[in-house]
Amino acid sequence: MTTERSTAEQFWSDAARHLVRYGGSFTPEIIERAAGSFVYTADGRRILDFTSGQMSAILGHCHPAIVETVQREIARLDHLFSGMLSRPVVDLARRLAESLPAPLEKALLLTTGAESNEAAIRMAKLVTGKHEIVAFAKSWHGMTHAAAAATYSAGRRGYGPTPGNFAIPTPNPYRPDFTTPDGELDWQRQLDYGFDLVDAQSSGSLAACIVEPILSSGGIIEPPPGYFVALARKCRERGMLLIVDEAQTGLCRTGTWYAFQRDGIVPDILTLSKTLGAGLPLAAMITTEEIEQRAHERGYLFYTTHVSDPLVAAVGNTVLDVLQQEQMDVRARELGEFLRAGLLDIRDRHDVVGDVRGRGLMQGIELVLDRETREGSDVLGAHVTRRCLELGLHMNVVQLPGMGSTFRIAPPLTTTREELALGLEILDQAIGETAPA
């Protein structure tokens, strides 16, 4: 039993001895507390959090309404037998349905993004009677079995076979593989080619396609307008379901309640996670009455220890309260324009900034060694990340080989213009001090 706070030396010694390393390296700071847009270290430093924790704390750290809800509900309803229902669970399911276009109205409340994607893929397979899953070649959908099998950006080697999973090219306008005569991304030709390959490999058992509206771990890549309408058509032609994973984009972050709304589509299954709990473990899979009925008739089983837990459901209701009352979709649009203008200004003054992209308060910048060749540099990305941290800004660089020069910027929706300006100032300084001449 720990009776006193360890020294920093002992802390890092214990961490090295007892923690399993699960991807990348640990940030070299001991975090003692967090509030709003900042985290605070053991040695008293204040660090601006430009990633909302793990892109989750959309209301900032320790939001008063969330704190009050947890304190109240933990004394009343914490955890129940998975077959029991409580008012927070039913209320949250109803309110999510009300926030979505028809016919999305049936919700399953879970804990993580991987779990919600696992539930979605499992349902799609059962309902269609098929088993093959299509995803983007730079996707990230989680680390559980089916979610990991549909994840192509990392983590595929050494874990055994994942039969029945196919990748299609990621439509990246900054790095087009199929081009029009004027050099722009020819996404329709790329999409046709991708599904030609899928059809050639399929055994005739295509169940679903799972996609992120903006690929985050893939490098903040947003498919062009029109792409998802065409993708949905490809799915319908093959009797596939379309699963949209809005772990990071859902609930106002991109300037609309859901990122898929920009494209005029309605997925067959929607998954939410990170932003729904505003930092606490809460996720949801939402589908139509028709699909849910068919799944139920076929014995759909996704029975977990923390399905329909009341405490986090109460938090989810509070998150929706704050988003609605403070019009966070509008706020994200306005602050996103401010953030983007600042990032474009940085690009104009630093040749190593090759691209600025994203929507609302989910933006990305890509560093390059040469704007003409668009050659990236993981080393440069690591140097800028380290210098930002020294100056008091936590930046999240994509920690995947060959992609370590793309930064993901996702501050809380509660952030202020002054905090965004501070982050932009630090980023500007860090790039200026570390970029090659």
Name the token pair of 49. Answer: 């959090």
**49, 115, 132, 212: the active-site residue:** 212
Residue 68 is a catalytic residue: no
**What sign does the CA torsion over 209, 211, 217, 220 have?**
positive
Pick the catalytic residue: 118, 248, 331, 366? Answer: 248
d(CA 406, CA 348): 17
10 is catalytic: no
Question: Is 298 annotated as catalytic?
Answer: no
Is position 33 annotated as part of the catalytic site? no
Active site residue 245: yes
259: Cα separation from own chain's centroid: 11
Dist CA 124 CA 142 (whole Å): 17
**Rounded Cα distance, 396 and 39, in Å:** 14
Nearest to 209 by CA among 161, 262, 164, 261: 164
Among candidates 330, 362, 333, which has minimal Cα distance to 246?
A: 362
Query: Could you tell me if 295 and 123 are in contact, meaning their C-beta atoms sit under 8 angstroms apart?
Result: yes
Q: Which of 176, 300, 195 is nearest to 240 (CA)?
A: 195
Annotated active-site residue in 253, 274, 340, 359: 274
Q: How many CB atoms lie within 10 A of CB 176?
A: 16
Token pair of 210, please?
């799972």
Catalytic-residue membership of 268: no
Token code pair at residue 319: 């998150």
Nearest by Cα to 34 from 10, 52, 7, 15:
52
**Are the CB atoms for 308 and 79 separated by under 8 Å?**
no
Q: Which two tokens stand for residue 112?
A: 């993580």
CA of residue 288 relative to chain centroid, distance = 23
Catalytic residue among 329, 357, 408, 419: 408
The CA distance from 216 to 51, in Å, is 12
Contacts of 367 (CB under 8 A, 6+ apart): 352, 353, 354, 376, 377, 380, 381, 384, 405, 406, 407, 431, 435
Distance CA 258, CA 263 (A): 10
Q: Is 84 helix (H, G, I), strand (E, B) or coil?
A: coil
Q: Which of 49, 118, 245, 292 is catalytic?
A: 245
User: What tokens does 330 get?
Assistant: 């509008």
Please state, in angstroms and rounded to a whole number, the distance separating the CA atoms of residues 239 and 231.
12
**Which residue out of 140, 331, 355, 387 is catalytically annotated?**
140
Which residues does residue 368 pair with via DSSP β-bridges, in sequence order?
Answer: 376
Residues with a known catalytic role? 140, 212, 245, 248, 274, 408
